[in-house]
Chain A
Amino acid sequence: MTAAAKITALALADRAKRAAKVAAEFADQVDIEGRFPSEGMDALKSERLMGIMIRPELGGEGASLTEVADVCAILGQACAATAMTYAMHQIQIASLADYAVGSAWHEALQKRICDEQLLIASATSEAGIGGNLRNSLCAIEVDGDTARLTKDATVISYGADADAIMVTSRRHPDAAHSDQVATIFLKDQYTLEQTSKWDTLGMRGTCSDGYIFKAEAPSEQILPRPFAEIAAQSMLAVSHLLWGSLWYGIAADAAARAQSFVKAAARKSPGQVPPGALRLAEASSLLQLVKANVVAGLKQFEGCKGDSDALNAMSFSVAMNNVKIGTSQTILEIINHCMLICGIAGYKNGTPFSLGRHLRDAHSAQLMISNDRILGNTSTMLLVNKQDTSLLG
């Protein structure tokens, strides 16, 4: 048995926990320096966690989205930047694994992802379009067997550290803005000219700089299915569920810190319930809500997987949007509670109870695909879609 085979045979959660330990050690440094979480990502690669969702025939482990979500939650408790980078990479992997079936080039790429533990980024947002990933200005130009693309990408998370980038564009120069394709370009096929610097409040390690992206590659690298289908059936749901999982991780770690603070206070004054204890009980209840929200969403996704009618249903989009809204709002409430519990020890950097990074990282949650935009979409759908009033359905 090779070393790689031995590692993959161990439980995914154990492998994730080992990688998370490394990521946690460098989390504050990554945050302060606003740099790529290379230690955490290297640890994920040595644990062979990059291609787990890929089919076993192509070298992966055929892991479910739920298993990947668990890895994200574990990483979220350690270093949110590592967790977010990993989650965003897995969003591209899910699209590849499910929507590039039958394409020899994309199957060979999946093999390489598993063998070489490649990191895949994505470029969907564009100057003039903003964050709406279902809209493109740039168009791919196919000339014989060659495809060329230039994109003014306002954000390419970890673009400089990725081995390949999945880029959305219009199908051809005459296509409507929403008639899109996604193309995967390998590192040696593109150039990145940096146009903006990612200097943010939180999630500083995702290095989501802006670039002018220019590429040329064989046209077989265009994904065989329309991007509309990939976005509707996979990308949106997978993003909301994986992000929700890592956000749960951030809040869970904050709650764990608050709990140890309350415990320490209780030890100091035996026989008395410390003042923060009630708040901790409230935070625990909110944390359970977030967890239940994510788990119910994952269950619904796994139940619909492979059934394009179910994945295209309006009720499914409403449910996934609600997972995103619910988790992203509630984690802030939880971390605020934890901050009140830990007091100055939580407010200060460098204590075992510090919560500044958690609070700042968690604030990104309502901005990643703006909650207002999502609420707008959901409210449109609710004009015709009936609210599901069943408890178990």
Chain B
Amino acid sequence: MKQTIRTLLAKHGNLPVAIEDVADGADLYDAGLSSFASVQVMLALEEEFDIEFPEHLLNRKSFSSVDEIAAALTEILEEQAA
């Protein structure tokens, strides 16, 4: 899952640095992720996993690192499976 997240971040994140150089726990906003780009990544994730981000996960924190995005996705996918 993290690899997919990284692929989409590389494609839509518009980061000034290579995504390989950003650790899973590192802050993506500090790395230069803009709020516009974070929405584009979110849309790409919705498309890729065929999901919709619920209201409570639409915040800065869910998108602050690869780990946080993975946690949000896991939560959504688990809820869908239940």
Contact = CB atoms under 8 A, between A and B. Distances in A.
B24 to A, nearest CB: 18
A228 B30 contact: yes
A226 B30 contact: yes
A312 B42 CA distance: 16
Interface in A279-301: none
A313 B30 contact: no
Interface stretch (A101-109, A170-178, A251-259, A266-274): A170-178
A184 B43 CA distance: 38
A371 interface: no
Interface in A35-53: none
Interface string B8-32: 0000000011000000000001111
Contacts, number: 56
Interface stretch (A63-71, A212-220, A331-339, A381-389): A381-389
A178 B38 CA distance: 13
B35 A312 contact: no
Nearest to A180: B30
A177 B35 contact: no
A226 B28 CA distance: 13
Given A377-B35, A380-B35, A380-B36, A178 B43 contact: no
A314 interface: yes
Given A309-B61, A312-B59, A312-B61, A177 B43 contact: no
B61 to A, nearest CB: 6
Nearest to A384: B42
Interface residues of B, number: 21
Contacts of A315: 55, 58
A170 B41 CA distance: 24
A1 B60 CA distance: 47
A232 interface: yes
A380 B32 contact: no
Name which of B17, B56, B60 has the most chain A CB atoms within 10 A of its CB: B60
Nearest to A386: B55
The 6 closest A-B pairs by CB, nearest first: A176-B32, A314-B58, A312-B59, A179-B30, A312-B60, A313-B59
9 contacts: A134-B34, A176-B31, A226-B30, A309-B56, A312-B59, A314-B59, A315-B58, A383-B43, A384-B53
Interface of A: 134, 171, 175-179, 226, 228, 232, 308-309, 312-315, 377, 380-381, 383-386
Given A179-B32, A383-B39, 20 more contacts: A171-B30, A176-B31, A178-B29, A178-B34, A179-B29, A179-B30, A308-B61, A309-B59, A312-B61, A313-B58, A314-B59, A377-B35, A377-B36, A380-B36, A381-B39, A383-B43, A384-B43, A385-B55, A385-B58, A386-B55
